[in-house]
Amino acid sequence: MQPSEFKSHMDRLAEQFKNTYSQARVELIWREVRDFDAYWWGRLVDKLLGECRHSPLLPEIREAMSIERERSWSRQKQHNAQEAREFFLIADDTEARKSTLATILRRVQGRVPDDEWKQFVHGITSLGTRTIACRSCSGTGLVFLTDAEDYEWTYRCRCASGKRQPQLYVVAPEGL
Ligand SMILES: [Zn+2]
């Protein structure tokens, strides 16, 4: 969050619990919460204002932070698992590979309009980026390239994912 966002909520705390938050304490709190987002910080201040009988200090703030970390960690885990599942469904599904190839062949024949093609390529290239590490194909096994003369090429990547793609594709040149 931005310092100004931090300050606006910090001021609400200082207003409620007077003479508690010296400059030094405010700086300590800022250091602890700066990596969280402003929305979370605002909600935390609401909670502290509503629930604390005494001035909340670092221990109370840290406790709330650890609860939030756990919550966002488990959200992230669910999200990653879902992405990985979706990716492998497509990368390892023979039918999906066939239909991908069919679309590419239709494109070569001029039967896939530009915007549809753009979406198709985007759909494939965005599939694996977070889960798989091959830099050429992001784990999709396919490398899309438009050359200087505006010809579109679809290669089979040289990595393991590429080996799972149909033999019909030309294998990508080295260094691509
Ligand atoms: Zn690859």
**So where are the chain's domains?**
3-88, 92-171
Rounded distance from Cα 125 to ligand 1 centre (Å) = 11
Question: Radius of gyration (Cα) for the chain, nearest Å?
Answer: 26
Fill in the DSSP letter of residue 162. Answer: H
Rounded distance from Cα 76 to ligand 1 centre (Å) = 25
Rounded distance from Cα 79 to ligand 1 centre (Å) = 23
Rounded distance from Cα 138 to ligand 1 centre (Å) = 6
**Dist. CA 60–CA 150, nearest whole Å:** 61
Rounded distance from Cα 156 to ligand 1 centre (Å) = 8
Rounded distance from Cα 145 to ligand 1 centre (Å) = 14
Strand partners, 144: 154
> pLDDT per position in the chain (176 positions), as tens?
999 999 999 999 999 998 889 999 999 999 988 888 888 899 889 988 988 888 888 888 888 778 777 777 677 666 666 666 665 555 566 777 778 888 888 888 888 888 999 888 888 777 655 555 677 887 788 888 888 888 888 898 888 888 888 888 888 888 77
Measure Cα distances from 14 to 52, 55, 83, 142, 154 in Å: 13, 9, 43, 57, 61
**Dist. CA 11–CA 129, nearest whole Å:** 42
